[in-house]
Structure 1
Amino acid sequence: MFARWVQEILRSPLLRPGIRSGHRTSGIFVPVVRGSSAAGKIALLERGIILSSVAYLAFETYKWKKGQTVVHASIKVDDIIEQADYLYGSGETAKLYELLSQYKDSNDAELLWRLARAARDMALVSTTPQDEKKRLIYESFDSAKKALELNELCWAAHKWYSICLSNVGDYEGIKTKIGNAYIVKEHLERAKELNPKDATTIHIIGVWCYMFADLPWYQVKIASALFGTPPSATFEEALEYFLQAEEVDPNFYSKNLLFLGKTYLKLKNKSLALDWLTKAKDFPARTEEDIEAMVYVRYWYI
């Protein structure tokens, strides 16, 4: 019933213009996130308006003919990244993937982690067929892995490698998923170490902790049988990360507000839980994720 209600809302033509590509939580470890705050998105849009003619024309040089794309060789990497960031900030998921997929054989880590993000975003669009979703998830992982191999000091490569690795686990079974959980957190912590000001990385670590703290007893038994000592965490740890993310970038993400409310409920603090859940409900709905958070709170809590 709840899922059908969400889908009916998302299909509304009144909401369509403001919805970006789908960003649902997949599996039990890593949520879907966008890497910029609301202020950052506005800045990207403003910058997009004044993009140099070179950067703008760079994207216009792509012409689809019989499934082939003709690319002007003179386009510089910086111009491509600038245009890619503009498209990402504008929520143009398909155009962004179209642009970056031409550089899957690149040796530039900055291009490749952006391609990983774009491929994953395309996989999460609700209209993408299941077989195509799987192909895109594995493509995103390959791109993130290559980016990391090219530049171990690239914080975004660590971040998207961890996210894409978790997504690949969805197709390879619970044993692989749990086994990869250690690696997922390791790379998230490395991303945080390299860039402590990225709120979404901190948020994802919080979700990692929340999900393992919230594992049902039977899943804990299965994990213990498979691994002896499975990953573990507490709701107190999760709360610390969610609050830290909010401190780094206040009100940056509706799902962080939602998880703060849910975590306080787990810790039996109903007053603070209500405060954060109300903030999640009232968060300006700019993306599909924002709408899902709002509907979730209204349906289950407020």
Structure 2
Amino acid sequence: MAHKILAAVFALLVSTGALNAQSVDEMIDQAKQLEKQMKEADALAKYKEVLKVEPAQLSALVEASELSSREGNRQKEKDDKTRYFNEAKDYAQEALNQAPNNADANYAMAVAMGRLALISGAKDKVAASREVKKYAELAIKFNPNYAQAYHVLGKWNYEVANLNFIEKNAAKALFGGLPDGTLQQAIDNYEKCKKLDPGFILNYYELARAYNKNDQQTQAMEVLRKAVALRAIYQDDPAIKADCKKMLEEMQ
């Protein structure tokens, strides 16, 4: 009788473990479907549910970080942006703790730090900027064909090329300066991203901005025309396409 009871308990434990594993997989599938439906806030909530069950689930950590960065960027108030971006950073850090050589985890950290840099004062912006470059380059190291990591590197070059006097002085005081970032390097990075992922609409918008800033209006307009014809994939894509259309109309 004792053996039968032990066998029953063992069977229950095994089946419960399988059920938990299955439920996590199902929740991740549901989150991915929500992303495809452009319901990113709901997808983020679903990934958070996964992490309550399995806190070290790598793909959920990476996706929660990326979605927190995107959701934060949609907020109107700086405090709300900061909260989301810090959550994105925390999720990315935990993903890196689990898998420091994972390209997606490094990319997620680059994005989170990039978002924080854009809303920070001169000192914090410069410090965050160094981290953006570091993690974007690591993502590319671990996956040389990581299109969106090249996009982040392009954004880094664009922002560094356009640092103001105060920010440049902060960089010099804190770190003896920053590596050179140029518009041409930004354009090269964006073009690399476009080659690897021709459907990434945000990259077209940023590439057009870089071309325009570099006094290459013809190239900028060509990029914008391609962008407005692309199919929306991410939740922000319709708004980005509208921005591309507006920029194109202003340049014509």
1:40-79 pair list within 5 angstroms = 73=20, 75-79=22-26
Identify which of structures 1 and 2 has the higher relative contact order when contacts are C-alpha pairs closer than 8 Å and 6+ apart.
1
1:1-302 pair list within 5 angstroms = 73=20, 75-105=22-52, 106-126=55-75, 131-169=79-117, 173-250=121-198, 252-284=199-231, 286-299=237-250, 301-302=251-252
Q: Are the counterparts in 1 of residues 205 and 240 from structure 2 also a CA contact under 8 Å?
A: no
Q: Are the counterparts in 2 of residues 258 and 277 from structure 1 also a CA contact under 8 Å?
A: yes
CA distance in 1, matches of 2:80, 2:249: 33
Rate the CA distance shift 1:264–1:131 in 2: closer, same or farther, 3 A: closer
CA distance in 2, matches of 1:170, 1:213: 14
CA distance in 2, matches of 1:167, 1:269: 27
SS in 1 for 2:101: coil
Shift of 1:282: 4.5
SS in 1 for 2:163: coil
Shift of 1:279: 2.6
Report which stretch shifted further, 204-213 or 131-140.
131-140
Q: Are the counterparts in 1 of residues 224 and 244 from structure 2 also a CA contact under 8 Å?
A: no
CA distance in 2, matches of 1:166, 1:257: 18
The residue number in structure 1 matching 2:16 is none
CA distance in 2, matches of 1:260, 1:123: 23
Count of aligned pairs: 228
Of structures 1 and 2, the larger Rg is shown by 2
- The amino acid of 2:151's aligned partner reads H
Which one has a larger percent helix, Structure 1 or Structure 2? 2
Unaligned runs of 5+ in 2: 1-18
Rate the CA distance shift 1:255–1:228 in 2: closer, same or farther, 3 A: same
Rate the CA distance shift 1:175–1:104 in 2: closer, same or farther, 3 A: farther
Deviations, residues 64-92 of structure 1 (Å, cap 9, x unaligned): xxxxxxxx846443333222222112211
Rate the CA distance shift 1:216–1:115 in 2: closer, same or farther, 3 A: same
Shift of 1:151: 0.8
Shift of 1:159: 0.6
Shift of 1:284: 4.9
Shift of 1:107: 1.1
Report which stretch shifted further, 79-88 or 109-118.
79-88
Q: With the length of structure 2 as denominator, give the TM-score of the two structures.
A: 0.78
SS in 1 for 2:86: helix
